[in-house]
């Protein structure tokens, strides 16, 4: 059986981390799409087609990894939607095939169960508490009766969303040719199968893997860390320096050439990529640092920093509201800062819960940040709260 991996999207909703294709975001030392392929291999799928953008960035990145499998690449010249991307693979598909996003790191967990279904099309579904953000399924027994894209709040047919994994027959291509050519042609093609009662569903007990927005990375980190390390182990890479008094609680990944300073506390579900540093007297809890992120004394909770960020001593990320309510309609009650690449934050700064800061920014010392900061801006509360 074959798999088609979609990795050509623009990742527009992934700001401020969309400085690269989101499937190339690194976790545990490798891009998310590599974890997806490893899961497919374990599930017995070794014929893989990757749909990438015109920059061919997926193909270029894979040259740095030994995936142990032959991959065919296809370019989608323009981001015309999921249906258009799948159609590019028609000449390479010879039978039933799975389709998934590049970040679907747990796809391999569901392959066997979906293959056991009898319908021509099988969808993966999972429960959500934010149905208005997704395509929602109306289900009767094992059959899908309807698909509603981003339903109005209070009018959802169920709490079961499409979960970025599909088993499709070769006839999909002919059905798709009948659908209107627009960004939602894939969903409209699925509707043809649903109307003819040819679409079934496997509802996962727990499937939190989605990557519409950057804060969804926390669920992916939790899945990967637990799958590879359990709930207690700590992975420490090559040439890591851990100084006296440091405490590291698992599960936790510390990549090559990282530094953990004196009396620093690294708490569970933290991922530090290569060359990152948690300086002396810092506390880092449930954070994701990309390559070469350096922070000093301070508190960093439920936060994500893009590559090459620098954060001065005494900086604190607030990650819980005083009233303990949801943070900015994210569905989360704990969320710190999310920062793009190569941003510099001065000493003694305070970042309020859920703050997004773009790439190539400068946040001046002593600043208190209550609102998002666009990329390439300088912000300092010492100068009349001006952003330049």
Give me the CATH number covering residue 85: 3.90.550.10
- Specify whether 289 is located in the same domain as 241: yes
Tokens of 367: 């600043």
Do 109 and 254 fall within a single domain?
no
Closest CA to 233 of 214, 216, 254: 254
Which burial class, exposed, middle or buried, applies to 118 when counting CB atoms under 10 A from its CB (0-12, 13-18, 19+)? exposed
143 and 98 together in one domain: yes
Same domain as 165, residue 44: yes
> What residues are paired with 74 via a beta bridge?
51
- Domain membership flag for residue 175: yes
Query: Residue 282, SS3?
Result: strand
Please give the average per-residue pLDDT across 91-117, as a whole number: 95
> Do 116 and 257 share a domain, yes or no?
no
Based on the domain organization, do 20 and 85 belong to the same domain?
Answer: yes
Reported as a pLDDT band with limits 50, 70 and 90, residue 197 is confident
Q: Is 206 contained in some domain?
A: yes
Indicate the pLDDT class of residue 255, thresholds 50, 70 and 90: very high
Predicted confidence at residue 376, as pLDDT, reads: 98
pLDDT band at 388 (very low <50, low <70, confident <90, very high): low
Which 8-state DSSP code applies to residue 373?
B
- Is residue 27 packed enough to be buried (19+ CB in 10 Å), middle (13-18) or exposed (0-12)? buried
**Containing structural domain, residue 189:** 2-212
Q: If you count them, how many residues does the chain have? A: 388
Beta strand 298-301 pairing with 121-127: unpaired
Q: Choose one of 212, 242, 267: the last residue of a domain.
A: 212
Please indicate, yes or no, whether residues 95 and 26 belong to a single structural domain of this protein. Answer: yes
Q: pLDDT tens digits, residue range 202-215?
A: 998 777 788 989 99
pTM of the model: 0.93
In this structure, are 252 and 345 located in the same domain?
yes
- Report pLDDT digits (tens) over 234-246: 999 999 999 999 9
Asked if residue 316 is part of any domain, the answer here is yes
Distance separating alpha carbons of residues 142 and 121, to the nearest angstrom: 12
């Amino acid at each position: 059986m074959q798999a088609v991996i979609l990795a050509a999207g623009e990742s527009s909703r992934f700001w401020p981390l969309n400085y690269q294709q989101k499937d190339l975001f690194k976790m545990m030392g490798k891009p998310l799409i590599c974890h997806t392929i490893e899961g497919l291999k374990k599930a017995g799928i070794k014929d893989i087609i990757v749909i990438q953008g015109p920059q061919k960035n997926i193909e270029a990145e894979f040259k740095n990894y030994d995936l142990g499998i032959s991959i065919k690449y296809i370019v989608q010249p323009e981001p015309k939607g999921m249906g258009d991307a799948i159609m590019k693979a028609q000449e390479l598909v010879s039978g039933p095939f799975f389709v998934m996003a590049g970040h679907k790191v747990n796809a391999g967990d569901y392959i066997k169960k979906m293959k056991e279904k009898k319908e021509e099309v099988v969808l993966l579904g999972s429960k959500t508490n934010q149905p208005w953000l997704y395509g929602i399924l109306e289900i009767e027994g094992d059959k899908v009766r309807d698909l509603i894209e981003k339903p109005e709040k209070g009018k959802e047919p169920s709490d079961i969303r499409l979960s970025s994994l599909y088993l499709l027959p070769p006839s999909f291509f002919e059905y798709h040719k009948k659908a209107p050519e627009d960004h939602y042609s894939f969903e409209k093609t699925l509707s043809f199968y649903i109307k003819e009662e040819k679409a079934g569903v496997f509802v996962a007990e727990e499937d939190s893997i989605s990557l519409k927005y950057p804060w969804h990375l926390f669920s992916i980190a939790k899945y990967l860390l637990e799958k590879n390390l359990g709930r207690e182990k700590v992975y420490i890479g090559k040439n890591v320096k851990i100084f006296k008094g440091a405490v590291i609680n698992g599960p936790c990944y510390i990549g090559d050439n990282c530094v953990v300073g004196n009396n620093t506390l690294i708490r569970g579900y933290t991922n530090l990529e290569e060359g990152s540093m948690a300086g002396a007297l810092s506390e880092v809890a449930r954070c994701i640092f990309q390559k070469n992120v350096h922070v000093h004394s301070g508190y960093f909770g439920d936060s994500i920093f893009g590559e090459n960020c620098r954060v001065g001593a005494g900086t604190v990320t607030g990650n819980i509201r005083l009233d303990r309510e949801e943070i900015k309609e994210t569905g989360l009650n704990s969320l710190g800062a999310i920062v793009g690449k190569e941003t510099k934050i001065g000493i003694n700064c305070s970042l309020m819960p859920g703050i997004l800061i773009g790439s190539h920014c400068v946040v001046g010392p002593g600043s208190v940040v209550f609102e998002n900061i666009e990329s390439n801006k300088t912000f300092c509360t010492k100068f009349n709260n001006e952003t330049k």
